[in-house]
Structure 1
Amino acid sequence: MRFGSLDFAPAADHPELLAPPVAAAVAELPREAVLVSAIDPEAADTAVFCERYGIGMDEGANCVIVEGRRGERVVHAAVMVRGADRADVNGAVRRFLDVRKVSFAAFELAPVLTGMVSGGITPVGLPDGWPILVDEAVAAAPNLIIGSGVRGSKLLVSGATLAALRGAAVLPLARVAA
């Protein structure tokens, strides 16, 4: 399938383009639900990627890892919003996770926790038990570009696929970026 200027193939057929936890998760999903395309790793960041490959900012979704705390309890979660939006971390995300404080996970900690590379983290293949908070606009999208766990490729999925991942909850999370 062609999307933007990229050609995508079933991710299950190309585990070499995926981080190990992503490859394991993809193997459990329907073959056509997750597609993959190789990209230039230097063009993995959202704005550069979109410009290079002819993808709109609203045709991609970013996955950010957050850490919430309430007393001694610490919870990690993934938050999915379209590339053109920002997540309401201190409002909707904090309330859903039922924590007093929430912040983005430390840059060096997210890869250790997920087994994925920063700039390529995806909700596909996250550790069991992690909440995956999916913005309503993401869940409604027919096609979305997301990370693959590495910087050298991207996945193409539907919002419905993301909303059906184990641990996923669909919520109004986005604030339009200024």
Structure 2
Amino acid sequence: MRAPIGDFDHATPVPDCLDELTAPVATAVRGWSGAVPVERILYVDTDPRWADTAVFVEHYGRDLLERSANCVVVAGRRGGGTTLAACVVLSTTRVDVNGVARRTLGARKASFAPMDTATGESGMEYGGITPVGLPDGWPVLVDSAVVDLPYVLVGSGRRRGKLLVPGKALAELPGAEVVDGLGVPLAPPEG
């Protein structure tokens, strides 16, 4: 099957390639109940050597820069408790951790979760964390600009491979909340 975005050799509906996915992502695919059919979520094989965004888009298609999203794990703290949440924003933006994310989580403080916490708690590889298959109870904050895309490229749970997901499907994930302004433009390089 031809991928709807990017220059990938082949795209496979995720139910047909569960062995390529981490256990939590495969479990989420098996239990999918969203209005967007799970067969519309596609897996594409990618080379981990080209994981850096600039190199990735050069190799797999310049159109992906505007159609890729990052999923980062944020730790929101209030009192003695910590809530882990996923924030999904376009790759051309950064998560407004101390503003929109913190307020949405009802936290007094928020920060990016340490790598070992993000990978250990999610069961996914660093650089491949995806909003599909996160632990029960995690808030999944999705920037409205991501939801508006017909297809968006996100991690697959591993550094090798990516998922092509209809933006609307991300809004249907367990714990998902669509948030305006979660992603803010990256600062231009100084010079």
Which TM-score band (shorter chain)?
A: over 0.9
Shift of 1:47: 2.9
Deviations 1:60-108 (A, max 9, x none): 1100000011111110000000011111111000001111110001012
Q: Quote the residue 2:105 is aligned against.
A: 97
Whether 1:39 and 2:41 are equivalent positions in the alignment is no
Q: Identity of paired residues, percent?
A: 49
Matches of 1:11 and 1:121, distance apart in 2 = 16
Matches of 1:52 and 1:5, distance apart in 2 = 8
Shift of 1:9: 1.0
Say which SS state the counterpart of residue 72 (structure 2) adopts.
Answer: strand
Structure having the higher strand fraction is 1
Residue correspondence of structure 1 range 32-71 to structure 2 within 5 A: 32-54=39-61, 55-71=63-79
* Residue identity opposite 1:112 in structure 2: G
The runs of at least 4 aligned residues of structure 1 exceeding 4 Å deviation read none
Kept in 2, the 8 Å contact 1:79–1:132? The answer is yes
Whether 1:21 and 2:28 are equivalent positions in the alignment is no
Shift of 1:139: 0.8
Q: Quote the residue 1:130 is aligned against.
A: 138
Matches of 2:134 and 2:72, distance apart in 1 = 12
Corresponding residue pairs, total: 178
Kept in 2, the 8 Å contact 1:24–1:125? The answer is yes
Q: Quote the residue 2:13 is aligned against.
A: 10
Say which SS state the counterpart of residue 81 (structure 1) adopts.
Answer: strand
TM-score by length of 1: 0.96
Matches of 1:130 and 1:51, distance apart in 2 = 34
Matches of 2:116 and 2:103, distance apart in 1 = 26
Matches of 1:147 and 1:27, distance apart in 2 = 18
Greater CA radius of gyration, 1 or 2?
2
Deviations 1:3-61 (A, max 9, x none): 31112110111112211100110122233231101110122233322221014322111
Matches of 1:14 and 1:131, distance apart in 2 = 27
Say which SS state the counterpart of residue 102 (structure 1) adopts.
Answer: strand
Matches of 1:164 and 1:93, distance apart in 2 = 19
Kept in 1, the 8 Å contact 2:64–2:153? The answer is no
Matches of 2:76 and 2:30, distance apart in 1 = 30
Give the superposed CA RMSD: 1.1
* Residue identity opposite 1:92 in structure 2: V
2:184 is matched with which residue: 166, 169, 175? 175
Unaligned runs of 5+ in 2: none
Say which SS state the counterpart of residue 112 (structure 1) adopts.
Answer: helix
Kept in 2, the 8 Å contact 1:45–1:119? The answer is no
Unaligned runs of 5+ in 1: none
Whether 1:153 and 2:155 are equivalent positions in the alignment is no
Deviations 1:103-150 (A, max 9, x none): 001012211000000000001000000000000100111010000000
Moved more, 28-37 or 152-161: 28-37
